[in-house]
Each structure stands twice: as structure tokens, then as C-alpha cells.
Amino acid sequence: MELHSVSLHGHRVGLRLAGDGPVLLLVHGMASSSAAWTAAGSLLAGRFTIVAPDLLGHGESAKPTGDYSLGAHASLLRDLLLVLGHQQATVIGHSFGGGVAMQFAYQFPDLCERLVLVGSGGLGREVNLLLRALALPGAGYVLGLFCRASLDDAARTLVEWARRVGFGPTPAAEEIRRGYASLTDAPSRAAFLRTLRAVVGFDGQRVSANDRLELASDLPTLIVWGARDPIIPVEHAWHAHAAIAGSRLEIFEGVGHFPHCEAPERLARTVSDFVTSTEPARLSQQQLRARLQTRAS
């Protein structure tokens, strides 16, 4: 998965590209980047075209002072696909990226062939207490104290020592450390807080798709969750599966919040089977209008 970049609306957008075939758009979570998809994406690249962008404020993309809402991210992904010459894609989103993926499918139904939600946000209010605390005023100051380059260097040293004595970190721990490292940079930290506060408050997740999930019944949908997810409870997966007619549900036992990092082979196999066994949706604004009018009557 080679790292590239494009310029959109005056902002650099980093992205990883690989493979050939039907397009999979991989959307990472908060305080993460396209690098999180390296293992799973590399496996999927044998059958699919992989497009894994860094959302604005993350990874190698620009970190402007601006709009970090789900809608803004979804619009940028639409523009990115069009610039790359892709007409449609199966959209796969993890955590916050799942919320972006659902927003993308809602705003641009004609571009979305299928939807895959991996430990997705936006499906209920419950979320880990730490994220709720970071949404409080003044949390940015505290975050700055704990996320410093010197502490990240110490963490790297500890990880390297553990590897040498045979106690390498788990894939989930590696992803958490990468997220921590990204927050040692002040612009990235500010972008993280803007992104977080767009969807999370101290009382939980502020944005929910639950009142619109039935609209996804025309869209092949796969829901993947780790049974031991400590960030977003697995109950959200069951509720979403019940609300989306025809959806598929895969619960990964022994896996936490990062199925794509903790079990990349299983995730790649699950996604590949889902894509190859379903027909891509051919939705339009007219179909969406008809469904909304039916609900309004």
C-alpha cells in the first residue's frame, strides 16, 4: 500500500493505494490514519482496488482550522474518489470512520455500492469514558501535558525492549501507540479535539444514525465488531443489525476495538466474501426521495 498525496481545495490529502478490481474505500478512525489498514488492505489488494485516505487532521493530510464534521469528511471522500476517477466504491469505515462511511452513503447514495461498519461510531450514545472526558472544556491542555514527544520516545524505547526479550506489543497496543504518537504534534492534537467534539460530548455520542438506519436496507451492509470492544459496546452491532433489513453481522470473539489490526486475515476474508457474494447497489437520489416520502406519509 504505497503512500501518495493529492491536493483538494488547497489541502494536501495523504492516501494509500494498492491493487486492482472493484474499489474499496477504507476510512480510518479518530487519532488514526490510513496506516491502520496496512495489514488488512494489503491482503485485500489481491482482489480489489484499495483507496485508503488520511482524513483531514490525520496522518499525512493537512490539519487546517476548519470543519471536522461527518458531512465535511464525507464530502472530501466524494471529491477524492472523483479525482481518482472512480465512479463507485464499497465504503468500509472503522469507529469514527464508520460514522463517516454512513454519512457518505446517506449524502451520496449513487456512489456507494456497499457499506461495511467495523466497530462503528454513530450507532448509540455509549462510548468509553476517556473519550467523553476529552470532550470537556480544558481537556486540550491536559492532553498537551500527557502527549509529549519525550513521553513518546520513552514509549518507543519500552516497546523495543519488550520486543527484544520476546514480549512484543499486541496489534491493538501498536495502534493505540501510533494514535498517541500522532497527538504529540500540536496541530494534530487540535484537529483531534475538533473531530472528537463534533461527535462526542461528556454525556456520550452526540451523533446517531439510528433514526435513519432503515434507509440502508437498499444497500448491502456488513457489520463487524470485536466481542471485547472496550471503546464502543458490541450491543450497538446487534441493534444496528436488527434495524438494517438484510444486513450481515460478524462478531469476532477475542477481539477488541481494532478488528482490522487484531485479526486482519479474518477481516479481509470476511470483507472479500461479502463483496463477492453481493451485487453492488445502484441507488439514486430518486430512490432516496421515494423512501423518504414513504416514511413521511
Q: Which of 32, 75, 95, 120 is catalytic?
A: 95
- DSSP percent split of the chain into helix, strand, coil, nearest 5: 45, 20, 35
Strand partners, 93: 27, 117
**Three cell numbers written together for 65:** 482550522
The DSSP annotation for 164-187 comes to: HTT-PPPHHHHHHHHHHHHTTSHH
Pairing verdict, β 49-53 and 112-118: unpaired
Q: How many CB atoms lie within 10 A of CB 57?
A: 25
Q: Which of the 8 DSSP states describes residue 83? A: H
Name the active-site residue from 58, 94, 257, 260. 257
15 strand-pairing partners: 4, 53
Inter-residue contact 238 to 249 (CB < 8 Å):
yes
Out of 33, 75, 229, 236, the active site residue is 229
Burial class (CB in 10 A: 0-12, 13-18, 19+), 140: middle
Q: Is 229 a catalytic residue?
A: yes
Q: Give the active site residues.
A: 95, 229, 257
